[in-house]
Amino acid sequence: MRILHTVEFYHPSVGGAQEVVKQISEGLVRRGHDVTVATTRLPDRRRFEVNGVKIAEFDVSGNLLYGIRGTPGAYRRFLRCGKFDVMMNYAAQQWACDASYELIDELPYATVMAPCGFSGLHEPAYAAYFQQMPSILKKYDRLIFHSDTYQDRRFAQAHGLEPISRTIANAASEIEFTEIDGTFRQRYGIPNNMPMLLTVASHTGVKGHDIAIKALAKARIGGAVLVLVGNSSAKGGCLWSCRWWASMARIYSRGRRRVMLLDLPRRDVVAAYHAADLFVFPSVVECSPLVLFECMAAKLPFVASPAGNSQEIAEWSGSGVIVAAQRRQNGFVYTRSHHLAAAIERMLGDRDRLAELGERGHQIWRQRFTWDRAVDLYEQVYREAIDARQAKRAKVTI
């Protein structure tokens, strides 16, 4: 198959959407498919083919609500003229998806959309955007959702789109997580007998970093360290406030608790998963967080907010605990730090159960949530979409 993936950002950019599209694209290339990714132009991009995946970049930004800026005409010409068998738009509410809506009917190849959560579904500013979304979705040959229960899937069900909807969960890399680097604690000065909490998320301001730090300060767990791994956000984010909260946690605990704010190479991120005792993830907004699948791969139990489909992932894996939401507003989920602290205390207080949860999640990951299995499912959906498009053409010509 000649496959086009569209996504707002791609390698060398780092993030959840980037990782999903990267893993699926490279997995399909390894199976002999021709894969191109259309994405935003980046000044630090030096290569336009990475691990067999071709990259077509465009000087475009924004979305339909706030305006699509740059040269969307060049992008649309690329879509019209592309010699593809199938296109998959990954994540709504950004230009690489939104700029294609007006073309879906006229494109000569099959079309698939993975909405990736519809994060703005309950925001008043997006009301008009989502009023037109049912008619847009009906133009696609297939829809891919990461959850059976999250709001984007329920939206599709409410508008009669279940026949073209498929669920493909996110995953974690069997290549990355098979090799274990046991030197992380030694290299970063963390004693082997000290509880190590971990969270991995960019400093966007909506990943609950402040809640995690406050919970560390409040939890009655003796001396402990929270390793907070995240790159800084281009939109400002929370890095500076995290530094302030980290200093407050150290003062509040009289030096017994510390927060390490690290921006690590990927190899060290994976090593941190293996070194930690517990993953802490009080995020405010998610779709289907990759980090929880990575916890499963690393035998690392997790405590998380109910953002996105975290509750569903906890049920699938049997290796995580979900902290109840304090409140929900416009699609955002807020948890209290003292509730998170209590969950941390309970988890770390029962080491046998902690080990049991880790093993259980790892077994389920191997059975259901590797990228190799996910690539199987994407490949299957793309073939379905191509068959559906050919059937539509046949009806038109009769």
Question: Does position 273 have pLDDT exceeding 80, yes or no?
Answer: yes
Residues 159 and 154: their CA atoms lie apart, in Å, by 9
pTM of the model as a whole? 0.92
* DSSP H helices in 138-285: 151-158, 174-178, 184-187, 209-218, 239-252, 266-275
Res 235: pLDDT? 60
Region 5-16: mean pLDDT is 95
Domain residue limits, the chain: 2-171+371-397, 177-367
- CA 361 vs. chain centroid, Å, equals 18
**DSSP assignment, residue 326?**
S
Residues 125 and 135: their CA atoms lie apart, in Å, by 19
> What confidence tens digit (pLDDT) does each residue in 156-207 have?
999 999 999 999 999 999 999 988 999 999 999 999 999 999 999 999 999 9
pLDDT band, very low/low/confident/very high, at 391 (cuts 50, 70, 90): confident
> What confidence tens digit (pLDDT) does each residue in 296-319 have?
999 999 999 999 999 999 999 999
- Pick from 149, 151, 152, 147: nearest CA to 167: 147
Question: Does position 234 have pLDDT exceeding 60, yes or no?
Answer: no
Residues 361 and 298: their CA atoms lie apart, in Å, by 9
Question: Does position 62 have pLDDT exceeding 60, yes or no?
Answer: yes
Residues 173 and 102: their CA atoms lie apart, in Å, by 35
Cβ neighbourhood burial of 219 (10 Å; 0-12, 13-18, 19+):
buried
Q: Give, in order, the Cα–Cα distances in Å from 387 to each of 92, 227, 264.
A: 24, 48, 44
Residues 124 and 367: their CA atoms lie apart, in Å, by 41
Tokens read off for 269? 């991120």
3-state secondary structure string across 50-95: ECCEEEEEECEEEECCCEEEECHHHHHHHHHHCCCCEEEEECCCCH
Percent of the chain predicted with pLDDT > 90: 91
Q: Which residues contact 34 (CB under 8 A, 6 or more apart)?
A: 1, 2, 3, 54
Question: Does position 101 have pLDDT exceeding 80, yes or no?
Answer: yes
Is-contact 3 36, C-beta < 8 A?
Answer: yes
Cβ neighbourhood burial of 20 (10 Å; 0-12, 13-18, 19+):
buried
- Pick from 315, 302, 329: nearest CA to 364: 315
CATH class for the domain made up of 177-367: alpha beta
> What confidence tens digit (pLDDT) does each residue in 137-158 have?
999 999 999 999 999 999 999 9
Q: Which residues contact 279 (CB under 8 A, 6 or more apart)?
A: 197, 198, 199, 200, 273, 291, 292, 295, 300, 301, 302, 303, 304
- Mean pLDDT score of the chain: 95
Res 233: pLDDT? 66
CATH class for the domain made up of 2-171+371-397: alpha beta
pLDDT band, very low/low/confident/very high, at 350 (cuts 50, 70, 90): very high
Cβ neighbourhood burial of 34 (10 Å; 0-12, 13-18, 19+):
middle
Res 231: pLDDT? 87
> Which residue bears the tokens 């991009």?
45
Residues 312 and 325: their CA atoms lie apart, in Å, by 15
Region 372-394: mean pLDDT is 94
